[in-house]
Chains A and B, each alone.
Chain A
Amino acid sequence: MTEYGVVLFYTTSSAIRAEKLLKKRAYTVKLIPVPRQFSSDCGVALRFDWQQREQVTSELDKAHVEMDAIHPL
């Protein structure tokens, strides 16, 4: 079963903002280097519990944090 998912962002600022916001709401998230299979980007991605993907997406949408993509790990 898929354990984690990642959110990819356009900018590092968005990634940090997402991390800050979700940590404040007690989600278990972690910033990791973007896995090579998803993007050639050299920035960071936010790893989260795949079970919580709907809540995570909705929190970030509500806060207008721009997301590039969401993938299971």
Chain B
Amino acid sequence: MIYLDNAATSWPKPPEVLKAMVDVLEHAGGNPGRSGHRLSVEAARVMYDAREDIARFFNIDDPTRVIFTSNGTQAINTVLKGLLKPGDRVVASSMEHNAVMRPLRSLESRGLIVDVIPCASDGSLDINDIATAVDSTTRLVVINHASNVAGTILPIADFASITRRAGALLLVDAAQTAGVLPIDMKALGIDFLAFTGHKGLQGPPGIGGLVIADHVDTQQIEPLMRGGTGSQSELEEQPEYLPDKFESGTPNIVGIAGLSAGISWVMGRGIEKIRAQEKELTVTLIDGLSGIASIKVHGTHNPEKTVAIVSFTAKDKHVSEIGLKLNEDYCILTRVGLHCAPAAHKTIGTFPEGTVRLAPGVFTTMDDIKEAMRAIEKVVGS
């Protein structure tokens, strides 16, 4: 089997991740921050250590500004729904995932002003277009770090300086880049980073997070949910203290332990090494597929400007048919269609048909890629 769907979720997971998840259930199975007995305290320690790891990984000082969520979507919703008020203006790119677009469209129907800046057909975004769109009336800029459809990387640091100059805040959707590209929130100037644990960070599904930069005033953000936090139980009002304000209900300690082990694994291997390997595989895919006459490779062909995501379409063949044949006849696992990102497909010109998306990961070999390309050539016909 050749798994080329790492942009949906990475697979397989490092054995260390599985082990950490079993260990936490065996040895730290209490409810963190609730009961005060040894299993509860041990779970709280696991959780706090994970916060410190993540704070270090994305470079913020205060670990209590790492907010655990179920996934990237919840992290994005926390900022969009918690910060934005009717009449506020928000700027997004036309390459955003529905994790961003759906909450934005919903808020728009209640008075939010949403400006979507068109990207080029390769998924890139002209910095001048952003500079023109962002002004003193902008409350928030929300942008993906790399597209889940085309892989195109956006220049976050440039957006951050424009955003900051205008007095707005910047939310970055790092679903496709955390664990794959270095993300230093201070150096890049990111105010909010939404990440998921089950892709490049090698953790399990069901865990993600919102990292809030040290300087951001969190009083201006309403929590998405309210409930038990294990703190200030005498009050029926939600505490303002971090991280409790944004973390109600029993946390996913198993997911947190797995995520923490995943991040350690990524750090052990080294982001540079992971990036170099994925770049090599991506270049081979882009070059090889571009050489097949009936295939069009979408997105940028410049390996410096894309993560390991390659989207293609073929003449006279539906993407669903290609995906099905690859799965049934060759045991090659891809994702076809619109990838929860209609705006991105409209931008690159593949709406409503969609594309076949190939997403290698850290466990993909060059042999896998070559075999996949041979199979694709047979399926689409040259």
Within 8 A of B (CB), among A28-47: 31-34, 39-45
Against B, the Cβ 8 Å flags (1 = close, 0 = not) of A1-32 are 00000000011111111011000000000011
Interface range for A: 20 to 34
Q: Is the CB of A12 within 8 A of B32?
A: yes
Q: Which of A41, A44, A45 contacts B233 (CB 8 A)?
A: A41
Q: Is the CB of B64 within 8 A of A11?
A: yes
A34 to B232 Cα, complex, angstroms = 12
Give the chain B neighbours of A17 by CB distance below 8 A: 48, 63
Within 8 A of A (CB), among B297-342: none
Give the chain B neighbours of A31 by CB distance below 8 A: 36, 41, 44
A31 to B33 Cα, complex, angstroms = 11
Against A, the Cβ 8 Å flags (1 = close, 0 = not) of B242-282 are 11100000000000000000000000000000000000000
Give the chain B neighbours of A34 by CB distance below 8 A: 36
Across the interface, name the chain B residue whose C-beta is closest to A31: B41
- Total B residues in contact with A, Cβ cutoff 8 Å: 26
Q: Is the CB of A10 within 8 A of B233?
A: no
Within 8 A of A (CB), among B135-159: none
Chain B positions within 8 Å of A, measured between CB atoms, are 32-37, 40-41, 44-45, 47-48, 51, 63-64, 229-234, 239, 241-244
Chain A positions within 8 Å of B, measured between CB atoms, are 10-17, 19-20, 31-34, 39-45, 66
Could you name 14 residue pairs across A and B whose Cβ atoms are closer than 8 Å?
A: A10-B231, A10-B232, A12-B44, A12-B244, A13-B48, A13-B242, A16-B44, A16-B47, A20-B45, A33-B35, A34-B36, A41-B231, A43-B36, A44-B33
Closest 9 CB pairs of A and B: A33-B36, A12-B33, A16-B48, A40-B234, A44-B36, A42-B233, A10-B241, A31-B41, A13-B64
